[in-house]
Structure 1
Amino acid sequence: MIISPVSLPHLQSGLAVTSDLFRRALAAHASGVVVITAQHAGRPAGLTATSFSSVSLEPPLVSFYVDRSSTTWPSLRAADHFAVNVLAHDQADLAARFASRGVDRFAEPTRWRPGPLGAPLLQDVSAHLVCLPYETAEVGDHILVVGLVVEADPQGPGRPLLYHQGRFGRFLAHPES
């Protein structure tokens, strides 16, 4: 069922949640951190995403969201494939670099190599997923991007980098009882 704002009277009366309140509430949710990379017109492009998730096992689909105002999105959209680089716990600086504007994200100290189809694969990450574009949809002020995974390379049992309350952090497992 699709709900339109017209069918929700509280939205018309101004009772909708403010973006600031919404952002603060979502900060309570920890998420994993990935860097999406692609190669377009001979140039690497990439951005940090904390909205990454699995979608389907059959077929193997993953998704992430990108802000419509992203200056990196046009290069990612134009590429014929992209890579998802799942960041390890010690890669907060890399995540911050790919979230920054006005820097060459692929210059030193970033370490990467071309993947099997050409998309940049970042070094020392927890996993790589190489994806073909499957579907996109405009949703609010973001674009939902769904990719068909054509190659997966888990790098080991390392701990993930997390994003929580506006900061990067590490996962600590509960002791087994």
Structure 2
Amino acid sequence: MTIVPNLSDEAALRQAFAHFPAGLAALAAQVDGADQVLLVASFSVGISLSPPLVSFAVQRSSSTWPLLRQAPVIGVSILASGQDHLCRQLSSKDKSVRWAGVDIERGDTGSVLIGHAALTFECAIHAEYPAGDHEVVLMEVKSFRATTEQEPLVFHGSRFRSLEAMA
């Protein structure tokens, strides 16, 4: 299928954006005694090595981001292949079911991390910038854990995929 450029057609633009594969990140922290989570498909690593920075974009209409941004450290879990069910659950509009049965780990700084994730970071907010209907957030990496045993889950063409399936 060929997509004809028409910037006023948001559905076509969204479909064009979906052609770029993205990792899925769960950003989580404990705020006022409750674990909060936000799922993003706009997470980017390697923004800077000195200081170590990562980034993501969040909709300005998010009701979760104002809570998460209060935390001194935010856990970032890059979900693994086979964790697509967690994407649906963690992004549920019904916040009461988001954590049901989810394997949670606490990071070195006390941040909330998803068990068996392909990669985790513990980050502090470095800067925020307005970007249209989103905010772009830079976060400084305080610690990380990586495993070669888990491949990341990929979101491509509006579907969950594994790297193996894309090869």
For the residues of structure 1 that align with 2:81 and 2:59, how far apart are their CA atoms?
25
2:85 aligns to what SS in structure 1?
helix
Tell me which structure has the larger Cα radius of gyration: 1
1:45 matches 2:36: yes
**Structure 1 residue ranges (4+ consecutive) displaced by more than 3 angstroms after TM superposition:** none
Mapped contact 1:88–1:125 kept (Cα < 8 A): yes
Gaps of 5+ in 2: 1-5
Please name the residue that 1:107 is paired with.
100
Please name the residue that 1:96 is paired with.
88
Residue number among 40, 46, 69 corresponding to 2:61 in the alignment: 69
TM-score relative to the length of structure 2: 0.89
Deviations 1:104-143 (A, max 9, x none): 31221x1102222222111011111000110011110011
Residue number among 130, 133, 148 corresponding to 1:156 in the alignment: 148
The Cα shift of 1:18 comes to 2.2
- Taking every aligned residue pair, what percent have the same amino acid on both sides? 32
Please name the residue that 2:160 is paired with.
168
Please name the residue that 1:30 is paired with.
21
After TM superposition, the structure 1 stretch with the greater mean CA deviation from structure 2, 164-173 or 84-93, is: 164-173
1:148 aligns to what SS in structure 2?
strand
TM-score relative to the length of structure 1: 0.84
For the residues of structure 1 that align with 2:108 and 2:122, how far apart are their CA atoms?
9
Number of corresponding residues: 159
Gaps of 5+ in 1: 1-14
